[in-house]
Amino acid sequence: MTLDLSLYLVTDSTSAILGSRDIYKVVEEACKGGVTIVQYRDKTSDTGLLVETATRLHEITKRYNVPLIINDRVDVAMASGAEGVHLGQDDMSITAAKKILSKDAIVGISASSVEEAVKAVEEGADYLGIGTLFATPTKTNTKNIIGTAGVKTILDSISRLNRTVGTVAIGGINLSNVQRVLYQSAGQNKALDGVAIVSAIIAADDPKSVAEQFKQAIAIPPPFITGSPEISSSVDAGALAAAVPEVVQKVVNCHPIVHSMINFVVANFVANVAISAGLSPIMSQYGDEAKDLAVHRGGLVINMGTLTSASIGEYLKAIKAYNTNGNPVVLDPVGAGATAIRRDAVKTLMAGGYFDLIKGNEREIRQVYGNTSNLTQRGVDSGPSSLNDVEKATLARDLARRERNIVLLTGAVDYLSDGYRVIAVKNGHELLSKATGTGCAIGTVCGAYMAAYRDDKFLAVLAGLLMYEIAAENAAAKNTVHGPGSFLPAFLDEVHSIWGKASQGNVTWAHGRAKIEEIQL
């Protein structure tokens, strides 16, 4: 049997995951759905039952030409005729297992650090189970949560050894993060060979269908090289505009928490916008606090406007907490190209976690993307544009496609993309650019919108943006508004007025107001 690690199913017989279902049926359905290797992992049964279950599982997996691996127990692998074992760092050594097992037996081992991985490869492991990728309720006593950045470091280290070894990541992988796990963890010369999944398949109502969906997600061609045929790039601007009021209503009814690690110049204004919009803001720069805050299904905003020597470490702690809890994170790379410190900060943050939304002006987005030829940035203001409309739309699309996220490139016209769909949003008012904080507040609003409306992040960001920019248009139209000083309070009033209407189910505020255009690239 060939070793195909691409979709590696690890079983779990506990009531929390398997429940009252039949493990044999679940494994058989998963094999039908296309899992390529199965590990029988049972931490509590006695040896007799382990051998009996493994033997029956092996009869099933053989029918699908899928290798069966036994967790921890070389004796059970031998007694059941399974194709191999998976060892933990505290189990028998690879050398000892290889001595006992047949010469073509598969021996895999867990690795959570470069040292463990290198040692395992040198000892002749057939594959590594690299983790813990993300925190997971399936196994809470894990050593080290390493994220995609940790997996990438391990892959880079073992690729230098010039030895053949398979690799899978394990821990918290599900259908919504599997593609970015594969993309973000890829090292320079070595990518993961697959993903190991427990609860997302074993606890699923329909394991076959979920396995099929994993197969599809894993098979999507790498973005950037070719457009993905599975994902539509066409936009129905009218339908998007029509969907916005309902999203705004859902968000205001949900009153999501939004944690802003925001610059001190604008913190007060941004908090006022958030409160006026019916959101629940907290402005905390203390990364360790994020552990407690990240459990509330809110969003996090990283705004680099007033970096200090301590900021990056604090940001990384908070990003990790929100990524681990599956809650959205926004990067607002304020002044990204202005100094060497900020340029490095962008790289560190991009490698250290996942951003659901990157929001910035043209120069900031170019800096994040790495399109920096002839790019100068003197301070944190946007400066004159050097790209035409199509180039801006392309930049937003390409960054979103590369990062598998949403990109909002702000300016007189905003460009919003999820890597496939691209729209231009022509709402807003010039007065928004005449005061500090008005751009930063968009990041906070959109972070909260993505947290409260999870069906479509692209639509969530669009809804937050339109609510904000229509409020600005309403404020600017007031005859009491003569400039930035009178605009800001009027703007807060208008945000609050839309909140009031939306919370009563009144959608008239949005009628005929969205100025959205599809961009075909």
Ligand X SMILES: Cc1ncc(COP(=O)(O)OP(=O)(O)O)c(N)n1
Ligand Y SMILES: Cc1nc(C(=O)O)sc1CCOP(=O)(O)O
Residues noted as catalytic: 440
Closer residue to ligand X, CB minimum distance, 196 or 395:
196
Q: Rounded to the nearest 5 degrees, what angle is found at the Cα of 139, between the Cα atoms of 138 and 143? A: 155
By CB under 6 A, tell whether 86 contacts ligand Y: no
Which does residue 173 bind out of ligand X, ligand Y, none, counting CB within 5 to 8 angstroms by kind?
ligand Y
Closest residue to ligand X, Cβ-based? 129
Eight-state DSSP code of residue 136: B
Judged by CB under 6 A, the chain residues 92 through 121 that form the site for ligand Y are: 110
Question: How far apart, in whole angstroms, are the C-alpha atoms of residue 53 and residue 126?
Answer: 24
Closer residue to ligand X, CB minimum distance, 195 or 425:
195
Please check whether residue 366 is in contact with residue 372, taking contact to mean a CB–CB distance below 8 angstroms: yes
Count of CB atoms situated within 10 Å of the CB of 498: 24
By CB under 6 A, tell whether 202 contacts ligand X: no
By CB under 6 A, tell whether 172 contacts ligand Y: yes
Using alpha carbons, list the distances in angstroms from residue 79 to 82, 101, 103, 437, 514. 8, 11, 16, 67, 67
By CB under 6 A, tell whether 211 contacts ligand X: no
Please check whether residue 448 is in contact with residue 251, taking contact to mean a CB–CB distance below 8 angstroms: yes
Residue choice 50, 57, 125, 173 for contact with ligand Y (CB under 6 A): 173
Which of 166-174, 242-250, 363-371, 482-490 is the region at the interface with ligand Y (rule: CB under 6 A)?
A: 166-174
By CB under 6 A, tell whether 138 contacts ligand Y: yes
Question: How far apart, in whole angstroms, are the C-alpha atoms of residue 9 and residue 373?
Answer: 46
Please check whether residue 212 is in contact with residue 33, taking contact to mean a CB–CB distance below 8 angstroms: yes
Query: Coil, helix or strand for 512?
Result: coil
Q: Is 517 left (phi over 0), alpha (psi -120 to 50) or beta?
A: beta
Judged by CB under 6 A, the chain residues 118 through 137 that form the site for ligand X are: 129, 131
**What minimum distance in Å lies between the beta carbon of 33 and ligand X?**
18
Please check whether residue 178 is in contact with residue 326, taking contact to mean a CB–CB distance below 8 angstroms: no
Question: How far apart, in whole angstroms, are the C-alpha atoms of residue 375 and residue 451?
Answer: 33
Closer residue to ligand X, CB minimum distance, 128 or 476:
128
By CB under 6 A, tell whether 10 contacts ligand X: yes
**What minimum distance in Å lies between the beta carbon of 106 and ligand Y?**
17
Phi and psi, residue 487, nearest 5°: -70, -45
Residue keyed to tokens 């490139």: 409
Instruction: Output the CA torsion 49→55→60→63 (10° steps).
Output: 180
Q: Is 188 left (phi over 0), alpha (psi -120 to 50) or beta?
A: alpha
Closer residue to ligand Y, CB minimum distance, 172 or 187:
172
Which does residue 136 bind out of ligand Y, ligand X, none, counting CB within 5 to 8 angstroms by kind?
ligand Y
Closer residue to ligand X, CB minimum distance, 69 or 393:
69
By CB under 6 A, tell whether 452 contacts ligand X: no
Rg (CA), the chain: 25
Q: Which helix (H) or strand (E) holds 166?
A: strand 166-170
Question: By C-alpha distance, which of 199, 93, 94 is closest to 137?
Answer: 199
**What minimum distance in Å lies between the beta carbon of 274 and ligand Y?**
33
Which does residue 502 bind out of ligand X, ligand Y, none, counting CB within 5 to 8 angstroms by kind?
none
**What minimum distance in Å lies between the beta carbon of 452 and ligand X?**
35
Q: Is 340 left (phi over 0), alpha (psi -120 to 50) or beta?
A: alpha
Phi and psi, residue 374, nearest 5°: 60, 25
Judged by CB under 6 A, the chain residues 95 through 114 that form the site for ligand X are: 110
Closer residue to ligand Y, CB minimum distance, 201 or 271:
201
Residue choice 13, 57, 66, 86 for contact with ligand X (CB under 6 A): 86
Which does residue 138 bind out of ligand Y, ligand X, none, counting CB within 5 to 8 angstroms by kind?
ligand Y
**What minimum distance in Å lies between the beta carbon of 216 and ligand Y?**
18
Using alpha carbons, list the distances in angstroms from residue 253 to 137, 279, 330. 29, 9, 22
Residue choice 9, 10, 31, 448 for contact with ligand Y (CB under 6 A): 10
Q: Fill in the per-residue mask, 149 to 188: x = in contact with ligand X (CB under 6 A), - = not in contact.
A: -------------------x-x------------------
By CB under 6 A, tell whether 132 contacts ligand Y: yes
* Contact residues: ligand X, CB under 6 A: 8, 10, 39, 41, 71-72, 86, 88, 110, 129, 131, 139, 168, 170, 196
Residues that bind ligand Y (CB under 6 A): 10, 110, 129, 131-132, 136, 138-139, 142, 170-173, 197-200
